Amino acid sequence: MGMDGSIVGTGPQSDVEAQVDPTFNTLRVNIKPLEYTEVNKPGLGGHFYVAGATGALTGVGANGIIFAFRWSDTKWLAVLKRVSLVYYLTTAYTGAQMNDFDIVAVTGYTASDSTGAGATVLTPSPKRRSTMAPSSAVTDCRIAGTAALSAGTKTIDASSLRYVADGPPNVAIPTATLAVPRQELLLYDNKEMGVHPKVFGTNEGFLVRMVTAMSAAGVIKAYIQAEWAEVSQY
């Protein structure tokens, strides 16, 4: 260890130093985005995000799909970074209602989730740096309109990645106060899911679902955003 608290490597990496904080005896590191290209393996990849809003969503059954992400590329992998949801109750239910959601991984995609009244196909937002790929390689990304998406052909994992629940008073929010922020429901964050992020290969992806069926009359409007990195699998 050097006099300044640094650790100097030996052998082939003798020129690599690691700084140790003298007060807490902890390693000093440089936090940076996930690398999307590899040394000596040039290619375009990048970091992308998408955000979408449902329509006036009602009548969704148990485990109804409200957001679907399908990845089919054979060269790139999608590394999931973050998925979150915010919703508002715009028409009160006729009885007590739990609004809960989950995020679940899927494999074996052969047909995308689709339709549903007013469903919207989403286009990921522009690359976050000029040297990244000009557009995302995502195959299909969509959000529900006024009804749940119809299920495509795929295999849904038996266990969800995460559940979130929110049980506000069963009273619709007046239109005049819709702009008041609600609590963001965090469905996935790779910083909280262990040391290895969720990675999607060919014909894999994820869904956001409403776990409990919506009871009569109730209407919600949901906003979902997702972030991921696209990296070479070679």
pLDDT value at position 179?
Answer: 46
Position 156, amino acid: I
Quick one: pLDDT at residue 31? 63
User: What total number of domains does the chain contain?
Assistant: 2
Give yes or no: residues 3 and 88 share one domain: no
pLDDT digits (tens, 9 = 90+) for 19-37: 777 787 777 666 666 776 6
Residue 190 three-state SS:
helix
Tell me what pLDDT residue 158 has. Answer: 95
Q: Are residues 190 and 136 in the same domain?
A: yes
Regarding whether 207 and 117 lie in a shared domain, the answer is yes
Q: Using CB atoms within 10 Å of the CB of residue 109, give its burial: 0 to 12 exposed, 13 to 18 middle, 19+ buried.
A: buried
> Which domain range does residue 10 map to?
1-31
Summarised one tens digit per residue, pLDDT across range 90-145 is: 888 887 788 899 999 999 999 999 887 767 888 877 667 777 777 788 899 999 99
Amino acid at 194: G
Same domain, 77 and 122: yes
Q: Let me know whether 102 and 193 are in one domain.
A: yes
Same domain, 27 and 3: yes
Query: Is residue 19 located within the same domain as residue 133?
Result: no
Q: Which pLDDT belongs to residue 9? A: 46
* Structure token pair of residue 117: 């009244």
Residues 207 and 92 in one domain: yes
- Picking from 100, 97, 222, the residue whose alpha carbon sits closest to that of residue 169 is 97
Closest residue by Cα to residue 162 from 137, 194, 140: 194
Residue with more model confidence, 85 or 171: 85
Residue-level pLDDT at 84: 95
Judge if 135 and 222 occupy the same domain.
yes
Contact 65, 186 (CB under 8 A): no
CA dist., res. 161 & res. 207, Å (int): 10
Q: Which of 144, 141, 114 is nearest to 206 (CA)?
A: 141
pLDDT digits (tens, 9 = 90+) for 142-197: 999 999 999 889 999 999 999 998 765 566 555 544 445 567 899 999 887 666 88
Please indicate, yes or no, whether residues 100 and 171 belong to a single structural domain of this protein.
yes
- Both 26 and 74 in one domain: the answer is no
Are 205 and 170 part of one and the same domain?
yes
pLDDT for residue 62: 95
Quote the CA–CA distance of 220 and 217 in Å, as a whole number.
10
